[in-house]
Amino acid sequence: MKKVILIHGLNFFIPVIFIIFSMAVIFIINPDPAFAVSYTYYSPEANLQKIDIYWLKKAVFAKRLYIAMYSFTDYKIAKELIKLAHEGVKIYIYRDDKQMKDRTDRTYMLEHVRNIYIKAKRDKGFWNIMHDKIFIIPGIVFREGSANWSPSAEGASCYYGNCGSPSNQDNNATYITNKYVIKMAIVNFIKIWDRKSNIIY
């Protein structure tokens, strides 16, 4: 009888041990599973400009903001970055040098602003462009997707009084709050930021 009880006991504990082991493996692979939350929005149905600004404001808590943006023609976001810089947030902006020469580019608004640092990749052709559309707030969010910082890309342009109309581009933006993913995004940003061939502004 005692042996039967022992076997039944093992039958109970083996699945429990397996579950605990599986959770430990998941934790090692993804050290922050409880915060593995992401939000994806699609323009022009969603106004990605408003959503971006909502998240950007949170940089005041981290005092750091890392940005890599291919096209940047959005006046409202440029003004928000200046405001954040005046509030003590150190902002690192990485661009594509040819895109910065666009007549509607807003980077000129940020040059010489205290706490804003700007570098660009030397664009050697379509095969070598800096094509990211991301920003990272340490410990808070990693934003990525297809949407550049231009009103039409974010579903924020107005045509004849119709704002967010189908005339805007089809794009997406995903906001990831997983702290491990955020850390890895920062590691990659620092790698491209530190390229010796970069142009410093």
pLDDT at 131 over 80: yes
What pLDDT does residue 19 have? 44
Identity of residue 163: C
Weakest-pLDDT range from 6-15, 33-42, 64-73: 6-15
pLDDT class for 11, splitting at 50, 70, 90? low
How far is the C-alpha of 108 from the C-alpha of 113, rounded, in Å?
A: 10
- Residue 156 has φ and ψ, to the nearest 5°, of -115, 0
What pLDDT does residue 161 have? 66
pLDDT digits (tens, 9 = 90+) for 86-103: 999 999 999 999 999 999
Mean pLDDT of 106-126: 95
What pLDDT does residue 43 have? 95
Q: Any residues with CB less than 8 A from the CB of 176 and at least 6 apart, and which?
A: 37, 38, 141, 142, 143, 144, 182
Burial class (CB in 10 A: 0-12, 13-18, 19+), 189: buried
pLDDT class for 53, splitting at 50, 70, 90? very high
Return the residue matching tokens 């405001």: 83
What pLDDT does residue 84 have? 99
pLDDT at 26 over 50: no
What pLDDT does residue 157 have? 86
Give the total residue count for the chain: 201
91 is written with which tokens? 């902002």
**What is the pTM assigned to this prediction?**
0.81
Mean pLDDT of 170-174: 98
Q: HEC string of 134-160?
A: EEEECCCEEEEECCCECCCCCCCCEEC
pLDDT at 149 over 60: yes
Q: Could you tell me which residue, 15 or 40, shows the higher pLDDT? A: 40
